[in-house]
Amino acid sequence: MADEKSELKLYQQMGNYFLTSLNNAVAATDLMAAQLEKQPEGAAGPDLSKYLCILRRNQFQMLRLAENLRELTGLQEGTVKLHRETVDLASLCADLADSVQALVPDVAITFKGTGEPCVTMGDSERIERLLLNLVSNSLLHCSAGDSVRIQLGRTEDTLQIVVSDNGSGIPREKMETLFSDYLRSPRLTETGRGAGIGLSVAEKIARAHGGSLVVTSEEGHGTKVVFSLPLVHVGELRSCREPRGSRMRFLLTGLADVLGADRFQKPYL
């Protein structure tokens, strides 16, 4: 147990170190881009803007990994403190679907609510991170013309958010270890897109909220993820939400593995 805690602490420190370094690199890239904009037109060469976009995208991909690593280790270690507030899930899901659709026009992102208040008590930023991780995972397995659906449902005391797609699905061998200890599994050493840390983080966030995450998938037929959590009645509404820093940066980081380099031009940042 002591060795496990030491490992978690080490991973958390690594995540914090990488985040600090990456944030400094992003700031330096932005300063470099600002200086280049002051140069006479054509002086910097035609391809420099393209190279800057590629650089930014790779920085944001690393930011996503480092943020998820820090979140995962904190949740496993029990050091993450949830900032609980009343969360209107219908509004949150609708806003997220619209925001992602604007960045990923080739895949249809749709949201369907219940027409009733769907309120829970939780950490709104972490719930949105959970959902963005689910949508990002769906997009990894989708091609142009496919669709990702976010559907909200409720029972007497439970809320369910279903994120489904008609993409390529998750391979059976990965399904068997989907929620195993990510930091001790072979997935930690996998390279390329979709190594699985986003789903691991999502499952830990769901548990921290007293909820659950259930994934079903079939290769060639898509994936369905059901996120369940407690319902809070409207009469119990009380909000303490604080504004997020940069929403666009949050979206670009969460979708960095699926967006093209052109989305990392200055207008988006």
Measured at the CA of 94, the angle between CA 261 and CA 253, to 5 degrees, comes to 30
Rounded distance between C-alpha atoms, residue 127 and residue 111, angstroms:
16
**Could you tell me the pLDDT band of residue 73, with boundaries at 50, 70 and 90?**
confident
Give the model confidence (pLDDT) of 21-48 as tens digits.
888 888 888 888 888 777 777 666 767 8
Closest CA to 153 of 228, 88, 216: 228
- pTM for this structure? 0.85
- Cβ proximity of 110 and 97 under 8 Å: yes
Compute the distance between CA of residue 264 and CA of residue 82 in angstroms, rounded to an integer: 30
pLDDT in tens, 51-71: 888 999 999 999 898 888 888
Q: Please tell me the distance from the alpha carbon of residue 5 to that of residue 62, in angstroms, as a whole number.
A: 24
Predicted pLDDT at 234: 56
81, 98 Cβ separation under 8 angstroms: no
Give the list of residues 6+ apart from residue 183 with CB closer than 8 angstroms, or none: 7, 8, 11, 72, 73, 76
| DSSP-derived secondary structure letter, 236 | G
pLDDT tens for 110-122 read 999 998 888 888 9
- What is the Cα gyration radius of the chain? 19
Which residue from 238, 223, 252, 95 is spatially nearest to 162, judged by alpha carbons?
Answer: 223
Q: Are strands 222-230 and 212-218 parallel, antiparallel or unpaired?
A: antiparallel
Does residue 80 or residue 130 have the better pLDDT?
Answer: 130
Amino acid at 231: L
Amino acid 186 reads P
